[in-house]
Structure 1
């Protein structure tokens, strides 16, 4: 529904401006990315999607903030491990940056001890630097980074190396239950 509503907003806008959408083909068949007819008819574009499956917001200690398909992988891993201390929040709009919406989402989690930006791209690519410079966190929290180290190439070069790196990334993002995650790059 997100993609539909985004295109609808763009088509109905009086001022014509380019729309840039980065989305992988893998999302086309992803069951978690499907929408019901009600969402298409009654919904709207949401710049930030809060974690509806996180359970009690007061029990959440680690908030994983990400954009793109890695959010679906984080949610699947969290659910597989039965973790109720982690929430996955999806940033759907980078510009203009939805600071007020993100602040409202963060306020829903009073017990947060850490906020982690997770991205598949290397540290010198992707949205980390952009988000880190614009995100206003509550006092006592800082944005941690979990992703690939800075490098010249966006890919590992082999499927087996990519899968190992992806596993490391997901494990580092969720971290052990009850323990702080390690900032990884």
Structure 2
């Protein structure tokens, strides 16, 4: 796909890349570019500027499997904002797709893990969806809400 047809660039690090790659292929998605960033320190500012300048029409998103308060998100946010500022993008900071902040790195429930994984994969790969990741299953309606 031509660079100008890419609607979203999803940056990630580690194993989640392979999950995203497989899911993107299964869905036949062509307008989402996956960019693996394995060197987080020193931050590859120049390399990312060079790579991302190809995608002037794309949203920039960071995806990680770890909760938002863990993993690379808090480390890469400021350096990514500097990259995006240098590129003069309308978007000031990357969108986030991943699990919500949590006290523990794992949910403790295989079913909840699958629900969260599906939610942030969908948030990362579905361009028409709002770019903010939905990381929790929808809450059940309360008795008051049903009335």
Please give the range of the TM-score, normalised by the shorter of the 2 chains: 0.7 to 0.9
Tell me which residue corresponds to 1:7.
none
2:12 is aligned with 1:66: yes
- Indicate the residue corresponding to 1:182 in structure 2: 131
Contact 2:62 2:94 in 1 (8 A): yes
1:129-181 deviation per Cα after TM superposition (whole angstroms, max 9, x unaligned): 11111111132023111111111100010212111111111011112x5x254
Does the alignment pair 1:157 with 2:102? no
2:56 pairs, out of 106, 110, 132, with 110
Determine the C-alpha separation between the residues in 2 that align with 1:105 and 1:76: 22
After superposition, what is the alpha-carbon deviation per residue over 1:29-62, rounded to whole angstroms, capped at 9, x for unaligned? xxxxxxxxxxxxxxxxxxxxxxxxxx32121010
The answer for unaligned runs of 5 or more in structure 2 is 136-147
Q: Which residue of 1 aligns with 2:67?
A: 122
Q: Deviations over 1:83-138 (max 9, x none)?
A: 111000000101110000011110122321x1110011111101111111111113
Matches within 5 A, 1:34-113: 55-112=1-58
Structure 1 residue runs of 4 or more that deviate by more than 2 Å after TM superposition = none
TM-score of the superposition, structure 1-length normalised? 0.66
1:171 and 2:122 correspond: yes
Q: CA RMSD in A?
A: 1.3
Query: Which structure exhibits the higher relative contact order, with contacts defined as CA atoms closer than 8 Å and separated by 6 or more residues?
Result: 2
